[in-house]
Structures are given as structure tokens and as C-alpha cells.
Amino acid sequence: MNRPTVSKILGTGSFVPSRVVPNDEFAQTLDTSDEWIRTRTGIRERRYAGPADTSATMGTLAAREALAAAGVKPADVDLIVCGTVTPDMVCPSTACLIQAYLECGTIPAFDVGAACSGFVYALSVADQYVRAGTARRVLVVGTEVLSRVSDFTDRNTCILFGDAAGAVVLGPTDDPGRGVHQIRLYADGSRQELIQVPSMVTPNPPPGAGVLPNLRYLRMNGREVFKFAVTKLKEMIGQAREDCGAVGKRIKLIVPHQVNVRIIDAALEDLAIPPEAVVVNLDKYGNTSAASVPLALDEGIRTGRCGPGDTILLVAFGGGLTWSSALVTL
């Protein structure tokens, strides 16, 4: 009997813009300090897009790198799925723009909106296409320009975010034991008010709609999101350990959404996970939402912290609320 088709990560890539923004820059205009930001979040600096950078241009550069790593030509890609909350435009999708920039031909391309879980949600869509046999080379991109929705008068939020893009190429594998074992997705729309990014379509929702006031930029209830993030990160790692046991694997590296080192440390401490088993690069890039997990994954692979045959766990959580994980053997 034929084995069911399983999808595998064939290559990864990432892109960060060149402008480095250290914590001290915020202290020039806000009542904050490098010391507060470092000790309360772990962030030292982040990158900001230049005038010519957009989610689509950065996503394209990350995608090119992932395609090169996978040895796949743009003409051989047969689906593009992009996670972003900062699309260049509401229409067309960022995935369509990336498709055009890469000259992939008239393959399907669409965006997935799941905030910081956007990349893992997009990966789950790609995984389903590959498993179903309807796509053989899927480009999955997470890309954000959060500096363009940051309120630079709000010290509670603007210091957290950065701009970046990450991408993977997914395709089928015959290799037993390798590939995507399990993807778990969750959402709780009843807690939507905890993180919001406005749209031009409804810039000022009416009172009573359950939204925060003066909604022009990204708004967040940091304290509540912090509690949610620690709880879900722990829950998803615990669940993945069980999933791992069921497929006879051990997690070598956890690649969590990068937002606050205290969130990651709290989960690690409770679960007795050593720091070397986790990728942390938020000190350099801050929270890059849907780009965060593929950016950290690409770094983990390129620095040799994980490689072929290693089992890794991608974990993300954010606006929606959404939370998600992917257990993968590279």
C-alpha cells in the first residue's frame, strides 16, 4: 500500500532591511530607556524598512533565498501563500505581488491573516495542498513592515516591533520519518480586542463594537497578551511533546514567535527546557509578527543549530487571538 504523501521543508530564506534602530532612539522622544526595554523585553535593536521596502519586496527577497536553498526555480513553484498583517495593499494580495516579482506565472497566490500566527497558518495551508497532491512546490512567506503601523507616541507598543521577512519552500517527501508531522491551529475571536491593527476600510469603528478607542495604529493590552502568550506557549510545547512521542521523535530545537524573552524564559523554566534548545533572536529584530518564526527558523538552520533529520517545533501566538504550532522533522 502507498504511504500517504507527507510535506517537507525543502529550503528556507529570510530578509531584514539594513536600517538598525537601537533602543536609545526611542529614549530621544519617549519616556523610556535602553535599560527598561532590554530588561523588560530582551530587545536591543530592531530593523526598519527603508522607503523602497514593502512587505512584498522584502517577502520576495526572502522567497528568492528560500528557493535557492531548495534548488527550486520560480517557474517550478505552483502555489504561494503569504502571512502578513501589513500588506502593501488590501487588494491585490501581497502573495500576488510576490508572484509577479518572482515571475512565477499564473499560479494561485493568496494571503492568510492570522497575525503573529500567520506563517504557521500559511504553512498549514501549504501542507494540506502538498498532502492532497494538488501542489508539489509551495512557497510560504511571512513578511511585515510593522514600523508603518507603530504608534511612536506609545511606549507600550512601538518599542516592540520590527520589519522583516522569512520564507520556506514546502514539497512532498518519500523519506520515512521526515517532514511535517503535526500542525495545530487555534483561534479565540472573543478576545479580539487584545491586539488590533486597523484597516483603511473601517478606520473608526463605532463605539460599542468592542474595540479600543483612537484606533489608528497597532494597539495592544500588553499585560493580558503576556499572560496569554506564556500559557499558550507552555500548552503547545507540552502538546508537541506528546505528539512527538507518538511519532517516536525528540524535539531538538524550539523556534518560538519572538516577542519578549520573558515570555520564552517563563515557559522554559516551567518545562525545564535548556536555553540551547530554543532559538532566540528577538534581541536583534524585536517582534516581526508573521515574519518572526521563519526568520528565526532560517537563522537556526544557517547557523547549524538544526539540520536534516532534526525534529523542530515552530510555535506562534498573537492577534485574533490565534495560536499555533508545527512539529517538523527537517
Q: Which of 169/290 has CB closer to ligand UT7?
A: 290
Q: Which of 36/186 has CB closer to ligand UT7?
A: 36
Q: Of 23, 260, 281, 287, which residue is the catalytic one?
A: 287
Segment 28 to 87, residues that bind ligand UT7, using CB under 6 A? 32, 36-37, 40-41
The interface mask with ligand UT7, positions 256-275, x = CB under 6 A, is ---xx--x------------
Q: Which of 135/195 has CB closer to ligand UT7?
A: 195
The interface mask with ligand UT7, positions 94-113, x = CB under 6 A, is --------------------
Question: At its nearest, how many Å lie between ligand UT7 and the CB of residue 119?
Answer: 12
Q: Of 104, 116, 158, 244, which residue is the catalytic one?
A: 116
Q: Which of 145/259 has CB closer to ligand UT7?
A: 259
Enumerate the β-bridge partners of residue 169: 11, 139
Q: Of 181, 257, 260, 281, which residue is the catalytic one?
A: 257
Q: Which triple of cell numbers denotes residue 101?
A: 516579482
Catalytic, 96? Answer no
Question: At its nearest, how many Å lie between ligand UT7 and the CB of residue 160?
Answer: 6
Determine, following the binding rule CB under 6 A, whether residue 320 of this chain makes contact with ligand UT7: no
The span of 95-103, 178-186, 217-225, 295-303 binding ligand UT7 (CB under 6 A) equals 217-225
Among the listed residues 156, 182, 192, 231, the single contact to ligand UT7 using CB under 6 A = 156
Angle at the Cα of 327 from the Cα atoms of 321 and 329, rounded to 5 degrees: 155
Catalytic, 204? Answer no
Catalytic, 287? Answer yes
Among the listed residues 225, 268, 306, 315, the single contact to ligand UT7 using CB under 6 A = 225
Nearest to 330 by CA among 81, 8, 111: 8
Question: At its nearest, how many Å lie between ligand UT7 and the CB of residue 74?
Answer: 31
* Residues binding ligand UT7: number (CB under 6 A): 21
- Using only the alpha carbons of the chain, give its radius of gyration: 19
Q: Which residues are catalytic?
A: 116, 257, 287
Which residues of the shown chain bind ligand UT7 in the complex (CB under 6 A)?
32, 36-37, 40-41, 116, 155-156, 159, 195, 222-223, 225-226, 229, 259-260, 263, 287, 289, 318
